Amino acid sequence: MSALSQRPPIVISMGDPAGIGPEIVCQALQRHPAWWPDVVVAGDAAHLRRAADCVGWHAPWQCFATLDAACAAHASGPRLWQACEPRPLVAWGRVAQDAGRMALACIEAGARAALAGEARALVTAPVHKEALSLAGCPHPGHTELLQALAAEHLGCRVADLPVRMMLSNPRLKTVLMSIHVSLRQALDSISADGLRQTLAIVWRHFERLGHPSVRVAVAGVNPHAGEGGLFGREEIEVLQPVIAALVAEGRAVSGPFAPDTVFWRAIQGEFDVVVAMYHDQGLIPVKLFGLEEGVNTTLGLPLVRTSPDHGTAFDRAGTGSADSASLEAAIREAMAAT
């Protein structure tokens, strides 16, 4: 990074250019010009200019070929790092290989910058998993891709760098034991070691943020948390022994609690974060109680990464009707964490 730069910026990857990612990036920066000195957008100039037109913004983009050049420049306008090969404009709302290629290149560039200390955080606008696959990405989503890039940077195996998704809004935080696998696979993967690992990742994250006494609740697997073994024994045989051992060590963890009430109890202030056993168990309550301000934070990475808690919204792309509130919340979260 240039000696002229001061604090490393937050890099925002533009997401899939056929979706609402570029629109919400433009909308967020239009609403918050005070952020311009702190952020650099990794994207494609033509697609971001189209998105700015879509939201009615005559964006005074400053375009640069490298992140170093962007950091060295005075932020008289929003800064754009051309982090991917320019390609013809893709159609709004359609899966396209070119869209996947641009999105993938921007994510990889932003992640490598953050891993090298040239960016202080990475905020990722939504991508389309099918487009990424068409572009040759072997990973099912952002989380797994970033995990692989971080493992490569550290020179370790992916299996040695466990990560977790934390979904949050102002009312609720949930951490997922498993991510993008089938429900059957998720249930089969529940283990004592997996719970210990998840809780360790949660505590490291909150300790780094200055909250060492975070109160964690563990959701059960089965209806009514198994009802004493009547509806399943995972709570008795897998979850309870881990929780009891950690409580004996002085950790503020409790459960397993009935999944149909534990999230409500957290919203009422009884717990700070809930560990959910599988993807939808944790995502449904977060989205129900605040989708418009939802943030996805990847825990366990050697970089700060946040994203909005929604997808590419192909049905709304190009209409100018997308709401950038979730992306704005993700940017604020990244700023607070760095």
**Rounded Cα–Cα distance for residues 51 and 94 (Å):** 15
Tokens of 80: 């754009």
Assess whether 303 and 283 both reside in one domain: no
What confidence score (pLDDT) does residue 5 get?
43
Assess whether 126 and 188 both reside in one domain: no
- The answer to which of 128-137, 247-256, 292-301 has the lowest mean pLDDT is 292-301
Q: Looking at residue 328, what DSSP letter applies?
A: H
Tell me, yes or no, whether 5 lies in a domain.
no
Assess whether 314 and 195 both reside in one domain: no
Tell me, yes or no, whether 294 lies in a domain.
no
What confidence score (pLDDT) does residue 290 get?
78
Tell me, yes or no, whether 293 lies in a domain.
no
Tell me, yes or no, whether 193 lies in a domain.
yes
- Give the containing element (helix H, strand E) for 121: strand 121-124
Residue 141 has pLDDT above 90, yes or no: no
Assess whether 279 and 328 both reside in one domain: no
Listed residues 246, 264, 287: the one ending a domain: 287
Tell me, yes or no, whether 59 lies in a domain.
yes
Residue 291 has pLDDT above 80, yes or no: no
Assess whether 210 and 99 both reside in one domain: no
Q: Between the CA atoms of 8, 9, 12 and 13, what dihedral angle is there, to the nearest 10 degrees?
A: -40
- Give the containing element (helix H, strand E) for 168: strand 164-169
Residue 147 has pLDDT above 90, yes or no: yes
Look-up of token digits 């957008």: 41
Q: The domain spanning residue 30 has which CATH number? A: 3.40.718.10
Assess whether 212 and 311 both reside in one domain: no
Tokens of 114: 């953050």
Tell me, yes or no, whether 165 lies in a domain.
no
What confidence score (pLDDT) does residue 74 get?
84
**Rounded Cα–Cα distance for residues 299 and 296 (Å):** 10
Region 108-117 average pLDDT: 98
Rg of the chain over CA atoms, in angstroms? 20
Assess whether 18 and 140 both reside in one domain: yes
| This model's pTM is above 0.85 | yes
Give 6's pLDDT tier (boundaries 50, 70, 90): confident
Assess whether 304 and 155 both reside in one domain: yes
Assess whether 155 and 187 both reside in one domain: no
| Domain ranges, residue 69 | 10-159+299-337
Query: What digits encode the pLDDT tens for the residues 165-194?
Result: 999 999 999 999 998 888 999 999 999 999
**Residue 104: exposure state from Cβ atoms within 10 A (0-12, 13-18, ≥19):** buried
Q: 318 phi and psi, to 5 degrees?
A: 85, 0
Assess whether 109 and 243 both reside in one domain: no
Tell me, yes or no, whether 4 lies in a domain.
no
Tokens of 126: 């939504």
What confidence score (pLDDT) does residue 1 get?
39
| Residue 216: strand pairing partners | 253, 273
Assess whether 122 and 249 both reside in one domain: no
Residue 2 has pLDDT above 70, yes or no: no
- The domain total for the chain is 2
Give 135's pLDDT tier (boundaries 50, 70, 90): very high
Tell me, yes or no, whether 164 lies in a domain.
no
Region 292-297 average pLDDT: 89
Region 58-63 average pLDDT: 95
Assess whether 100 and 212 both reside in one domain: no
Q: In sequence order, what DSSP letters do the residues of 72-88 get, joined into one string?
A: HS--SS-EEEE-S---P
Give 134's pLDDT tier (boundaries 50, 70, 90): very high
